[in-house]
Structure 1
């Protein structure tokens, strides 16, 4: 698995929603894989939902919010929109994941969901808590032998 860390500058962190929308659009433009934006923060899910609909005045990023395991089949959700928003990895998900949680993506991969993201994009905010979580995740992925890259933006 390829894991890319995006270390945000102060200016990028001030418009983190804009950066997430830009990163999402770039990932969609470069490939045919579905994309999941993973966050355990319900408020952030709502804010992202609104931001993706209004990314630009003349366009939007089509997406589907995963609300609960039992209200929608994961197969249907992934077929509806190229971008998914949720607090979990859907069953058999094998696309790109933007991980907005402080936990490594492997915490969300289980034997029952068979999810194996092909690429993970981790965002690191310019604060001590986010930086430490990023360091911890980097070490975790490194121990698993994942291909790691980082970008300062």
Structure 2
């Protein structure tokens, strides 16, 4: 699995919703896979839900909020972008992780989830950098391919 860390500048961190929308659109343009945005903050989920609908004045990013932890994505027609606090069963696609936990902890609790790529966001603050280092070490131990980008 490929893991990409996006180390955000102060400007990008101040417009985190805009960056997440931009990264989401880029991921959709470059791949036919679904994108799961893991969110453990209800306020962020609500504001991101609105931001994805309003990203462009003449378009939107189709998405769906998942609320049932028992959702098996093989048996439902879903939008290309999913917002959730958990990883659905049988998920195979990309993950944009906004939580403090590494994605492999979500995978361990989910039946047959096998993300192909993970996008991690690191804000320019002490807490986020510390969490990012923890995630990096966790992924490194598992032998994942790691890259990082300063944005």
Tell me if TM exceeds 0.5. yes
- Map Cα deviations across residues 73-112 of structure 1 (whole Å, 9 max, x no partner): 53355x2210000000011101000000011001101365
Q: What's 1:21 paired with?
A: 21
- Assess if the C-alpha contact under 8 Å between 1:39 and 1:101 holds in 2: yes
Match of 1:150 in 2: 148
Q: Is the 8 A contact 1:97 1:117 kept in 2?
A: yes
Write out per-residue CA displacement over residues 97-138 of structure 1, whole angstroms, 9 at most, x where no aligned residue.
000001100110136521010000000000000000000100
Matching residue of 1:140: 138
Aligned to 2:73: 74
Query: Measured at CA, do residues 120 and 42 of structure 1 come closer, stay the same or move farther in structure 2, by a change above 3 Å?
Result: same
In 2, the alpha carbon distance for the partners of 1:147 and 1:112 equals 22
Q: CA RMSD in A?
A: 1.3
Return the alpha-carbon distance in structure 1 between the equivalents of residues 34 and 73 of structure 2.
12
Aligned residue pair count = 151
Alpha-carbon distance between aligned partners in 2 of 1:12 and 1:76, rounded to the nearest angstrom: 37
Counterparts of residues 107-122 of structure 1 (less than 5 Å): 107-110=105-108, 112-122=110-120
Gaps spanning 5+ residues in structure 1: where?
none
**What is the aligned partner in structure 2 of residue 105 from structure 1?**
103
Secondary structure in structure 1 of the residue aligned to 2:108: coil
Name the residue aligned to 1:2. 2
Q: Distance in 2 between matches of 1:13 and 1:82?
A: 25
Distance 2:5 2:110 in 1: 27
What TM-score do you get using the length of structure 1 for normalisation? 0.94
Cα gap change, 1:76/1:83 in structure 2, threshold over 3 Å: closer, same or farther?
farther
